Structure 1
Amino acid sequence: MRILLLSWEYPPHVVGGLGRHVGALARALADAGHEVHVVTRDLPDAPEVRDAIEDGVHVVRIPEAPPVIGFDQLVAWVLAFNNRIQAVAGRLLREREFDVIHAHDWLVGYAAAGLKETWDVPVVATVHATEYGRHQGWLPGPMNKLIHQVEWWLTYEARRVIVCSAYMRTELEQIFALPPEKLDIVPNGVDVRDFVVAPEEAAEMRASLTGPRTRMILFAGRLEYEKGVQTLLAALQDVRQRVGPTRLFVAGVGTYSEELRREVRRRKLRHHVRFAGFLPDHDLRLHFGAADVAVVPSIYEPFGLVAVEAMACGTPVVVGDTGGLREIVADGSGLSFTPQEPTELADALVRVLTDRELAEDLVQRGHARARDRYDWGSVARRTVEVYAQARREEAALRGTEERQPLRPVLRAAAILELDEAG
């Protein structure tokens, strides 16, 4: 198939799990023999649209415009970005015929809907999270309501809608009144080969981060209220009192960062918590390898890819019993606790940090779970099945005979040559 992916973030310029997901999916689809094109944003100081072949994927990066905005200007930024996506993607669609457009989340919703109407190409949408869920069912302001409406509009315009968990399928059925037969569950994936951490590298990282008798807890993710880091901070002193010296590393950035730093000061934990900021993939994996336990204390979590990544690194996980996290550890490959209950979280952490046999069992179960259930090859195959279903439904709706999916006639490296020749 010839596939066009739209995403507001793509490696190496990622903010959270969405960008890493789209990057890995694009590579897996290309590895399976499909011709994959991605339209995404570039850094603010990029001078012009850039084309490149990256890991067999044709990536078109659009400079961010306007580059610096406040939150109150988000609508203007989104509209400007989507207009540029439509212009650049329209060029690709004029040059070659595509089988499907795959839009990732509401930030590319306007462009996806416009391209569908202009080019008669079926749209598949992946909803990675919802504004309703992020705010626990409360839409406090006009911006929240607008985002919610665009999310609904994207699912309405799409021929098929992909969600990452049964939890998210139920959520979309309820809040958008979507028919269940329109929804497909395709979990996020991981390539365990990318998460092999050499013991000597893990030991070196550990020595640089903590003393030999200090336990190490790791959180990795966006610093937002719904990620639940405040619950982890509330549990930390209890853990320290019960197991001895313990240090928490918080890897990530986000709008809740300053509030969390204030909470650290209020609880007198400044010497026991380190904010590591955004970590590149290699450094993050070394931190996983060095940690005694990884915690995903989310209040709302459609999937929880970071838990699977920790498991792939061989790190025991403790997760909030919510959303997709519940499904990830359903086989006992991790421990869970009630979200926003610091006492339960402390109990789970103490179990992992003091019971070596339990910790080793979680390591073995977790790695097997990541390898067997969340392999990117199977995720890509399932995604292509959804594309094929969308094409069949589009053909039936239009009363036309379904054409055969396009077979790429060019090697990936030749795509740019065609662009330059045109």
Structure 2
Amino acid sequence: MRVLVLSWEYPPVVVGGLGRHVHALVRELAAAGHEVVVVSRRQTGTDAATHPTTDGPDPDDPRIRVLHVAEDPAHLRFSDDLVAWALAMGHAMLRAALTRLAGWRPDVVHAHDWLVAHPAIALADVLGVPLVATIHATEAGRHAGWLTTPLSRQVHSVEWWLARRADAVVTCSRAMRAEVATLFDLDPSEISVVHNGIAPRRWSVPPTAREAARRRWAPGGVPLLASFGRLEYEKGVQDLIAALPRVRRAYPGTRLVVAGTGTQREMLVEQARRFRVRRSVTFAGHLPDDELAALLTAASAVVLPSRYEPFGIVALEAAAAGAPLVASTAGGLGEVVVDGETGLSFAPGDVAGIAAAVDAVLADPAAAAERAHRARARLGPDFGWPVIAVRTAEIYAAAPAGGPIDVGRPKIPTGNVLGPT
């Protein structure tokens, strides 16, 4: 099939897990013989003079054609003018696709998240081909069901439009399928679940690197906890920090390394001070892949305390590194980490539950290692990219070309759109 993929991030522009997901998926689709063109963007803050539009093969896989679209001249900032910035990006993508892909016609358009809704819907309408939309997360979910600001209501309405217009909707977990069905008035049986994937070998670490990481992060052989990902409130690292004093009372000297960047870093630093564990917590910032893999492999436990998590690719990465997993049951994490089998779980926001689960790991390292082994063993059959690419291609082939539709604005309740939380 000829597949046109639209994503607001794609290497070298990677903001979070979405960019890595799209990159891995299209490479696997290309390996299976599909003809893939990706439309993405240049770096934020650049323009056509400093970073002009490029059209050529992906440096990592020449079978993939990538259209990296320059930003428009308008002085719009992602941080200050999100919706206007997204509209401008969408217009630039649409112009580039219509003018530079002349003579090439896709069999399907695949949109990844709301930021590319406008160009994806327009291209599917103009070309008369099916529109597949993957909803990676929702605005309501990120805010625990509340849409209290004008920006949140704007984003939600674009998500609603994309989900209602798409000929096939995909989510990364059963939990997200239920969330999307509730938010956008869709039949859950018509929403496909395709998990995110992992390439396990990328996370293999030699013993020397593991030992070096332990000396670096936890000298003296003390227990080492690790958490990684974006430092945002919904990731729940504040709950892990609150649980750390209880863990240290049972296991003196325990250290926590938090890897990643985000808007809540200073809040988390203050949280560590408030709970008198600041000297026991290292905020490592962004770590290169090899250093992150070494940290995960060296950890006594990797703790993922998310309050909201559509899928939880971090759990797959930790499992690929062979780390014992302790994770909340938020969203997709409850599907990735099977309590008592591939890790230990706790309810989102449950500080005592975090401490108890970590205590269980540290008290019985042999059982923790066995759970880690089972977690790693299921990566290939359940979360391997070849399996995911086959399932995605099946969705492409089955999607009908519904054609343009006109929809009104969604009615947004003043209360919690996901119900009590």
Q: Is TM > 0.5 for Structure 1 vs Structure 2?
A: yes
Deviation of the 1:14 alpha carbon? 1.7
SS of residue matched to 1:172: helix
C-alpha deviations, 1:46-81, integer Å up to 9, x for none?
520123422232222223455762634112211111
Query: Retained in 1: the 8 A contact 2:304–2:328?
Result: yes
Matched, 1:292 2:292: no
Aligned to 1:404: none
Matched, 1:25 2:33: no
Aligned residues: CA RMSD: 1.8
Corresponding residue to 2:266 among 253, 258, 266: 258
Letter in 1 for 2:170: I
Query: Retained in 1: the 8 A contact 2:83–2:155?
Result: no
Q: Which moved more, 1:302-311 or 1:248-257?
A: 248-257
> Equivalences for 1:19-418 in 2 at 5 Å?
19-43=19-43, 44-45=45-46, 46-54=50-58, 55=61, 56-65=63-72, 69=77, 71-330=79-338, 332-390=341-399, 393-394=400-401
Aligned to 2:13: 13
Q: Cα gap change, 1:121/1:379 in structure 2, threshold over 3 Å: closer, same or farther? A: same
Q: Which moved more, 1:43-52 or 1:206-215?
A: 43-52
Query: Retained in 1: the 8 A contact 2:217–2:257?
Result: no
- Unpaired runs of at least 5, structure 1: 399-422
Deviation of the 1:193 alpha carbon? 1.9
- Unpaired runs of at least 5, structure 2: 405-421
C-alpha deviations, 1:234-277, integer Å up to 9, x for none?
00111111112111111111222221122122222221111111
Inter-partner Cα distance in structure 1 for 2:276 and 2:96: 51
SS of residue matched to 1:303: coil
Query: Retained in 2: the 8 A contact 1:37–1:57?
Result: yes
Q: Which moved more, 1:137-146 or 1:249-258?
A: 249-258
Deviation of the 1:336 alpha carbon? 0.2
SS of residue matched to 1:71: coil
Inter-partner Cα distance in structure 1 for 2:343 and 2:378: 10
Letter in 2 for 1:95: G
Deviation of the 1:12 alpha carbon? 3.3
Identity of aligned residues (%): 45
Q: Cα gap change, 1:155/1:212 in structure 2, threshold over 3 Å: closer, same or farther? A: same
SS of residue matched to 1:94: coil
Deviation of the 1:116 alpha carbon? 1.5
Letter in 2 for 1:8: W
C-alpha deviations, 1:284-304, integer Å up to 9, x for none?
222212222111111111110
Query: Retained in 2: the 8 A contact 1:52–1:59?
Result: yes
Query: Retained in 1: the 8 A contact 2:83–2:154?
Result: no
Query: Retained in 2: the 8 A contact 1:294–1:310?
Result: yes
Deviation of the 1:227 alpha carbon? 0.7
Deviation of the 1:191 alpha carbon? 1.4
Letter in 2 for 1:33: G
Inter-partner Cα distance in structure 1 for 2:387 and 2:179: 24
Inter-partner Cα distance in structure 2 for 1:247 and 1:67: 44
Inter-partner Cα distance in structure 2 for 1:266 and 1:52: 52
C-alpha deviations, 1:91-130, integer Å up to 9, x for none?
3542311111110000111111111122212110000011
Query: Retained in 2: the 8 A contact 1:159–1:182?
Result: no
Aligned to 1:409: none
Q: Cα gap change, 1:85/1:211 in structure 2, threshold over 3 Å: closer, same or farther? A: same
SS of residue matched to 2:102: helix
Letter in 2 for 1:215: P
Query: Retained in 1: the 8 A contact 2:78–2:85?
Result: no
Larger helix fraction of residues: 1
Inter-partner Cα distance in structure 2 for 1:88 and 1:285: 38
Q: Cα gap change, 1:307/1:114 in structure 2, threshold over 3 Å: closer, same or farther? A: same
Q: Cα gap change, 1:359/1:39 in structure 2, threshold over 3 Å: closer, same or farther? A: same
Aligned to 2:2: 2
Inter-partner Cα distance in structure 2 for 1:67 and 1:330: 47
Q: How many residues align?
A: 395
Letter in 2 for 1:48: P
